[in-house]
Amino acid sequence: MNIYDIIFYLFAAITILSAFFVVTTRNIVYSAYYLLFTFFGVAGIYVLLGADFIAIVQLIVYVGGILILLLFGVMLTNKITNVEIRSGSIQIVPAAVGVALFAGIVMASMLNTKWKNIETAMPSATTQGIGLLLIQQYAVVFELLGILLLVALIGAASMARK
Amino acid sequence: MIYDFFFKLTNSNFLADLIQSLLPLFIFILPFALFAVLFERKVSAHMQDRLGPMRVGYHGILQTVADILKLVQKEDIIPTLADKPLFNIAPVLVFAGSYLAFAAIPFSSAFIGSNIDLGIIFIIAASGFVVAGILMAGWSSNNKYSLLGAMRSAAQIISYEIPTVLVVLSVIMITGTTNLLTLSEMQTGHFWNWMIFGGPVMGIAKFIFIPIMIINFVIIYISTLAEVNRTPFDIPEAESELVSGYHTEYSGMKFAMFFLSEYANMFAVSAIVAALFLGGYQSPIGYLGNLFGVHWLIPIEQFFWFTAKGIFFVFVQMWLRWTLPRLRVDQLMALCWKYLIPIAFVNLLIIGLITVL
Amino acid sequence: MKEYFKNAWSGLFTVFIGMKITFKHLFVPAVTIQYPDERLQLPERERNRLYVNMDDCIGCDQCARACPVDCITIETVKGLAGEDLGKTSNGKRKALWVTKFDIDFAKCCYCQLCVFPCPTECIYMTDVFEFSELERGNLIYDFVTLTPQEREEKKSNYAKFEAEKAAEKAAAKAAPVNKPIDNQETPKQ
């Protein structure tokens, strides 16, 4: 067990524990901040996998963007001066069924996939490869995603105007 | 590289890593904060025709040491109705965010915390932690002023990240790299190879780049100034309306953590500007080490040049603080959305066209 | 469009003008002084803490009466015939022992009204202005030069003298007016 294994288990523990708390904690703001650590742990695992670009995009998009928006939303929609912002759980039975189904699918795909076992090598830069793929092979998908985001943006703006 | 030096010294991967990652904190952030706090007080005093701290040591040079001693001794007050866990984590998170940025800052060719390929993007990503920490501090204090300050601060940092990223993108488009060490190496030679003067491009493109890069430099300087909440963009901690923003309720060492991270951030953004536009650690006039053939001197000289550029920009930040009054919120947003972002976009387009052609 | 660029340019340019001004001020010598080490020369007629020169005080109580906030309290005892109380510097004879001359600087409003009535010019303003105290009681200044025992002695001397005088008077009166006292007593019965 070398140091990278230890770091991996650390990040994995952070991710799983904080994800667990995101779901179980009743305080919305707490779960938002547990989400921060979940994203952080996932980014760490990406780094260990040699996917530096995805790790950093994960940080920029999820921590810098979505999480902050989430916090803004939580703080602006509730009574902002009140620390006691709580959420409850509803419809436990359908949720449990859904979770069980999803867990089954994930487990099945995990067990049935033939994982590649590559010897650990010094990770090389991935940015250029990702950029080339996005512009050349997956250009249409990339553009479509961009349009989707634009549509969402325009929709949000028009809804906010009403 | 400094890593090899420590590896030879300690003969252990882990220790060398640890020492290298702690170096920026102990040889840089802490002494810099000590220096910068006094420097700020002196600069502000002399700009207002005052003298500033004069009592502790010669012309008050030990004033910050005394202040830190005071802060260490202070009682750690946690408001009764505050959210205790978040209140305690917030300063750590904010400081971790600003310390994270130092990992990718190239102090000299031999001294960079981590030579990651996405250096500049990593630094931008790290500022997300600062925003989260600031929101955490503001909310957990359970104080209206803190919350308002945190909200303003987060909104400001997020909106000014856009022009910063656009300018960074234009630099990336010219150089084709996001690695800050490579970026600095590309600007080697004399000062006309710096990015602000068009970078290491030759021919007619360079002359088109020069005005664009100067405009870009101004844009990134303004937007990074806003990102570290300095005057004239200090509405998050506007003393006259919000007491002191998100750290109103903090005292003692926790307050010191915020203070430290504020000054660390000031240097971090100055360092980014220096690394992107002013040649990073490159000397404008050549090295003494090359002149005398002493090669180990060059990294030290580079460190000197880098800190000199960084401290110069920190000085300009202080200079602006005593020149400009605080912007209103609408002026702040107008500056960002009406001026900085469109101009940055136009520059990006022009640079894109030129680099493609 | 033209206005947009003009705005942007003037926004940038005026910042540089401002920066030029502040940069000049960086080298202007400081206008402040290092106060406890250096002090400004106070104007000649400044009004600060009062001082009473007790050698000249004749205990006339005029300053206490002039005081608008009643911060001066004076008690005097008459000097006895045999005692020499000395003279003031402008040649007046002192006739009263001043056994109490308190000025409460917590009340004093530094109006200088007490200074003018003084016939011997013994109460005047000094240039001392740093006399803060931790307790308000410490701001009551006692100017009397006599020791507490002396004050008691003067008081008791005078009281004794008075008593003697009264006794003398009583004795003098007692002889002729013995009966009327009895007369006075009789109607009561």
Q: A146 and A115, same structural domain?
A: yes
Asked if A77 and A92 sit in the same domain, the reply is no
Model pTM score? 0.78
The answer to whether residue A13 neighbours chain B at the CB level (below 8 Å) is no
Q: Which of A59, A83, A107 is the last residue of a domain?
A: A83
pLDDT in tens, C134-166: 988 888 888 888 888 888 888 888 888 888 888
- pLDDT at position A80 is 52
Q: What is the dihedral of CA A78, A152, B334, B97, to 10 degrees?
A: 60
C9 closest CA partner among B218, B319, B333? B218
Q: Choose, out of A26, A63, A82, the residue to mutate when testing the contact with B (most B CBs < 10 Å).
A: A63
A8 and A30 belong to one structural domain: yes
Query: Both A14 and A68 in a single domain?
Result: yes
Within an 8 Å CB–CB cutoff, is residue A30 touching chain B? yes
pLDDT band for C186, please (50, 70, 90 cuts): very low
State which of A68-77, A122-131, B79-88, C12-21 shows the largest mean pLDDT.
C12-21
Q: Are residues A119 and A137 in the same domain?
A: yes
Identify whether residues A100 and A73 lie together within a single domain. Answer: no
To test the contact with chain B by mutation, choose from C9, C22, C25, C27 the residue with the greatest count of B C-beta atoms within 10 A, namely C22
> Smallest CA–CA separation between B316 and chain C, in Å?
9
Residues 6+ apart with CB under 8 A from B183: B119, B120, B171, B175, B177, B275, B276, B280
Cross-chain residue pair B49–C25, CB shorter than 8 Å: yes
Give CA–CA dist B69/B169, Å, rounded. 43
Cβ partners under 8 Å of residue A125, min gap 6? A52, B117
Cα three-residue angle C91-C95-C100, rounded to 5 degrees: 110
Burial of C62 (0-12, 13-18, 19+ CB in 10 A): middle
| Mean predicted confidence (pLDDT) in A92-114 | 89
pLDDT tens for B226-257 read: 888 887 888 878 777 887 778 888 888 888 88
Q: Within this chain, do residues A139 and A162 fall inside the same structural domain, yes or no?
A: yes
Please report the pLDDT score of residue C79 as a whole number: 77
Same domain, A67 and A22: yes
In the numeric block, the tokens 């916090």 are attached to: A71
Out of A52, A64, A125, whose CB is closest to B127?
A64
Find which of C9, C24, C26, C35 to mutate to test the B interface (most B CBs within 10 Å of its CB): C26
Rounded to an integer, the average pLDDT of B183-187 is 79
Query: What are the residues facing C96 on neighbouring strands?
Result: C78
Helix and strand totals (H; E) in chain A: 7, 0
Q: Which residues of B touch C31 (CB under 8 A)?
A: 49-50
Clarify whether residues A60 and A91 are in a common domain.
no
Name residue, tokens 């206490």.
Answer: C64
Q: Does A77 share its domain with A111?
A: no
Query: Which residues in B291-306 are b (16+ Cβ under 10 Å) and which e?
Result: eeeeeeebbbbbbebb
Tell if the CB–CB gap between C19 and B320 is shorter than 8 Å: yes
Confidence of residue A44 (pLDDT cuts 50, 70, 90): confident
* End residue of a domain, out of A83, A115, A134: A83
> Is residue A81 predicted with pLDDT exceeding 80?
no
Total structural domains in chain A?
Answer: 2
Least confident of B143-157, B294-308, C175-189: C175-189
Distance from CA of B331 to the nearest CA of C (A): 12
Residue A148 — pLDDT band, cuts 50, 70, 90?
A: very high
Neighbours of chain A (3+ CB pairs under 8 A): B
- At residue C188, does pLDDT exceed 90? no
CA-derived radius of gyration, chain A:
20
CB-nearest partner of B319 from C22, C27, C32: C22
Distance (Å, rounded) from C-alpha B297 to C-alpha B302?
9
Interface check for A29 against chain B (CB to CB < 8 A): the answer is: yes
Is it the case that residue B154 has pLDDT exceeding 90?
no
Tokens of residue A82, six digits: 């009140």
Closest of B219, B180, B178, B229 to residue B196, by C-alpha: B219
Most confident of A29-38, B311-320, C31-40, C78-87: B311-320
pLDDT of residue A118: 67
**What is the token pair recorded at B345?**
């976009």
The domain boundary residue, chosen from A83, A105, A136: A83
How far is Cα B167 from Cα A128, in angstroms, rounded to an integer? 19
Shortest Cα–Cα distance, A52 to chain B (Å): 8
Q: Residue A18 belongs to what domain range?
A: 1-83
Same domain? A51 vs A123: no
Judging by DSSP bridges, how do beta strands C96-104 and C50-52 pair with one another?
Answer: unpaired
In this prediction, the answer to ipTM > 0.90 reads no
Helix (H, G, I), strand (E, B) or coil at B249: coil
In a shared domain, residues A68 and A119: no
Element (H, E) at C48: none
Residue C52 three-state SS: strand
Among C150, C67, C127, C154, which residue's Cα sits nearest to residue C102?
C67
Kindly write down the DSSP assignment for every residue of B338-357, as one continuous string: IIIHHHHHHHHHHHHHHHH-
Calpha distance B306→A128 (Å, rounded)? 28
- Report the distance separating Cα B147 and Cα B87, nearest Å: 12
Whether pLDDT at B53 is above 60: yes
pLDDT recorded at residue B260: 85
Q: What pLDDT, in 10s, does the model give residues B195-238?
A: 777 767 777 777 778 888 888 888 888 888 888 888 788 887 87
CB atoms B50 and C31 under 8 Å:
yes
B128 and A67 within 8 Å at the Cβ level: the answer is: yes
- How confident is the model at residue A78, as a pLDDT? 56
Per-residue model confidence (pLDDT) at position B131? 83
Please determine, for residue A149, whether its predicted confidence score (pLDDT) is greater than 60.
yes
